[in-house]
Every structure is written in C-alpha cells, then in structure tokens.
Amino acid sequence: MNALEIRNLKKTFKSNFLIRQYPVLKGIDITVEKGEIYGFLGPNGAGKTTTMKCIIGLIYPDTGEISIFGQPSDDTARRRNIGFLPEQPYFYDYLTAEELLMFSGMLFSLPTKQTRQKTGELLELVGLEQKKNLKLKKYSKGMLQRVGLAQALINEPEFLILDEPFSGLDPIGRKELRDIILSLRDNGKTIFFSSHILQDMEMMVDRVGIILDGTIRKEGKLSELISHSVRYYEIVFTGIDENILANHPAKYVFQDNHYIARLDTVDETNKIIEFIVQNKGKIISITPIKRTLEDIFFEEIHQ
C-alpha cells in the first residue's frame, strides 16, 4: 500500500476581482511509497506548497483524487496520522516550547501524562531540552524550525509533510535535522518534503519529483535518475611520454604527476584505455562523473 497517491490534481486561484483565473496545479500525479523519503523539488511558484495544502486539507482542489494509505485524504482518522511543518511556522510568542507541545497534544486529545512524556522526548530529539522554558519570541528562526518539527511529531504520525524544513538552519543545524529525518525513516515513517537546498535533498531522499509550472516534469528513484545520467568519464593515468600523448586527440591535463583525461562518451573512453595499454601506460582510476540532482533540476528548467 502506498503512503500517498495523487491523481490528476488541479487547482486554480482567482484574482481579487474574480475576473482572471490562475491555474497553479495542472493535473499532477504523485506516488509516495510507504517508508520512504520523497523529495518534492521545484522553483518558487511551481505549486509545491499548494500541493501540500491540498494533501492536508487546508485548501481543496478543483479536481483530482488524493489518498493516504489507501483512504481518501479528507478522512478524519487518516488526518490524525499526518504531521505537518509549514514553510514559515508561526506560534504564539508567549508560549514556551514545552507549553506549545503540551497544547499540540491537547489538540489531538492525547492523555496529559503521555503528552508530557512525549514532549520531553521530542525536545531532546530536536536539541531544545535546555531551552524548553524559554518563550518562543526569543527563539531564532532555526530554533522555531526545530520546535515546529517537534510539534509535527507530537501525535506520532505515520506520514510527515515538511515544507522547506531546512529554512533558516545553519550547516550544523541542517546536518542534525538530516540525521533526525533519516532516523524517522528508519523507524518506519514516511516523509514528504520540499526544499530549495538541493545538496541536502540529494543526501536524503529515496525518490524525487520535480514540479515546474504546475506539472510533474520528472519523477523516480534518485539512484536511477543519477546513475543513468553521466556527465563525463575521468581517467587518471601515468607512464606515457608526453610526446606520444601529443599525437592523441583526447584532452588531458597534468596534475600531481598524473595525467587526467575527460571523455564525453563510452567509445572515447574505451579508445583512450586501449591507447594507454598499447603504450604501456598505467591506469590509476576510471571514474564516471555523474550528474547531480542540481544538474538534473536545471536541465528540466531550461528545456
């Protein structure tokens, strides 16, 4: 059973005078498998946040179907199994982190004793146990992101939706949050998140969907998208006289007592390997330099 299935989702917004219509989602299809981390990638205005709001019921689509663990997304019982962190979380300034989580537990009708125990565990998880009695108005943006993640977990959801969770975090905070999200996946939770920080996404996700102008342009397992996309092949070798190399058409550079050649195709790579062997050279390494998620993303944008 898939954690999330979206079929032909469409959403249009109207102008203030109800004259013009602005299609934001133009029939998107998304499948998120249970127990995976799904990265939702796209530029500003592509429809990421609108999609997330449709999933959790903050706005309603014009057409389309959304199911969570096989049930319609508007099913109340299913919504209780969803945790949500918005892009810019806003909490009452005069609550402490501990009070916020206790209040969030009350909204889910959780027993007080259970909520208090869970609050302590979550504050420790996000590294705020020493700041639990500090009012939220004194929190930095990164600290608010952390407490926002904690409140999204208070009801022990099976499915976690995070909108730009790395926003406002420094490199240390991003590393810590990555580790938390990966540990949640390892404990069986499904995570659906968007981010502008492609490096973090590439280090975490199992599958990725790229949305542009309200349509899904590419979707699949990250390992497959990257492994099938090689930019060039790099061969490091030594032991061949430079005069002999001068007669070979391949481009190369000399660095740290080694020659480094970069080839665009497999055929070119095979030919220079044969050339090196014939001239009794020594091959140090052969490395396919794969495209990154960033490369794939910008290729889609510029198509």
Domain boundaries, the chain: 2-226, 231-290
Strand order in the sheet with 37-41: 82-85, 159-163, 190-194, 37-41, 207-212, 215-221
Top-tier CATH class for 2-226: alpha beta
Contact indicator for 169, 145 with CB cutoff of 8 Å: yes
pLDDT of the residue at 154: 94
**Whole-number Å distance between alpha carbons of 210 and 11:** 18
pTM of this prediction? Answer: 0.79
pLDDT of the residue at 18: 65
122-144 pLDDT tens trace: 999 998 999 999 999 999 888 88
End-to-end CA distance of the chain: 34
- The residue-averaged pLDDT of 177-202 equals 88
- The residue-averaged pLDDT of 246-253 equals 78
Run of H or E including 245: helix 242-245
pLDDT of the residue at 228: 63
Determine whether 143 is exposed, middle or buried from the number of CB atoms within 10 Å of its CB (0-12, 13-18, 19+): buried
Does 185 score more than 70 pLDDT? Answer: yes
Does 32 score more than 90 pLDDT? Answer: yes
Q: Is 270 helix (H, G, I), strand (E, B) or coil?
A: helix
- The residue-averaged pLDDT of 95-104 equals 94
Q: What is the token pair recorded at 54?
A: 């449709």
Question: Would you give the DSSP letter of residue 251?
Answer: -
Assigned CATH topology for domain 231-290 = Alpha-Beta Plaits (3.30.70)
